[in-house]
Amino acid sequence: MKNFNTQFQRFTLILVQENVIRSVLIVAVNSAMLYASENVTDPYLSSLFYVTQTWIYTMSLNAELFWIDVRNAIHHEELKRFMTPNKIPEKKARPSEQTSRNNLALSVVTMTDRISKV
């Protein structure tokens, strides 16, 4: 139960960081743009508002891609933990079919991790 609690807390923290913060920023930017479109007459300030809006939208998209990578990394770590083969007794000359399937799946996960780091 303790492990479930920590996993749930990590999941909740990721959801908060991923969704709530991004949503608050987008609502704030949209509110500022609504204010600027009605009250700001200076072209420099108007363009500054649009640049800020574009920058925040870009950072939000980058954050979304970052959290996708975080979720994938957590998923790959769990796969590696569950698919790591047990030590084969030295008596056996050849590994069982299940162990070779696990090794193949583990090598695919490891290769995916190497590709994602590039």
User: Does the CA dihedral 116-77-72-10 come out positive or negative?
Assistant: negative
Give a yes or no: residue 55 inside a domain.
yes
pTM for this predicted structure = 0.52
Rounded-to-integer distance, Cα 12 and Cα 20, Å: 11
In-domain check, residue 97: no
Residue 11 lies in a domain: yes
| Domains contained in the chain, number | 1
The pLDDT score that the predictor gives to residue 73 is 73
Is residue 108 in some structural domain? no
10-residue block means of pLDDT along the chain (118 residues)? 66 78 91 92 92 92 80 67 57 52 52 54
Q: How far apart are CA 25 and CA 102, in angstroms?
A: 44
Residue 50 lies in a domain: yes
Query: Per the domain annotation, does 78 fall within a domain?
Result: no
The whole-number pLDDT of residue 111 equals 53
Chain-wide mean pLDDT for the chain? 73
For residue 8, what are the domain limits?
Answer: 2-67
Q: Is residue 30 a part of any domain in this protein?
A: yes
Predicted confidence at residue 102, as pLDDT, reads 52
Tell me the per-residue pLDDT of 23-41, one tens digit each, with 9 for 90 and over. 999 999 999 999 999 999 9
3-state DSSP assignment of residue 59: helix
Residue 72 lies in a domain: no
Beta-carbon contacts of 94 under 8 Å, excluding residues fewer than 6 positions away, are: none
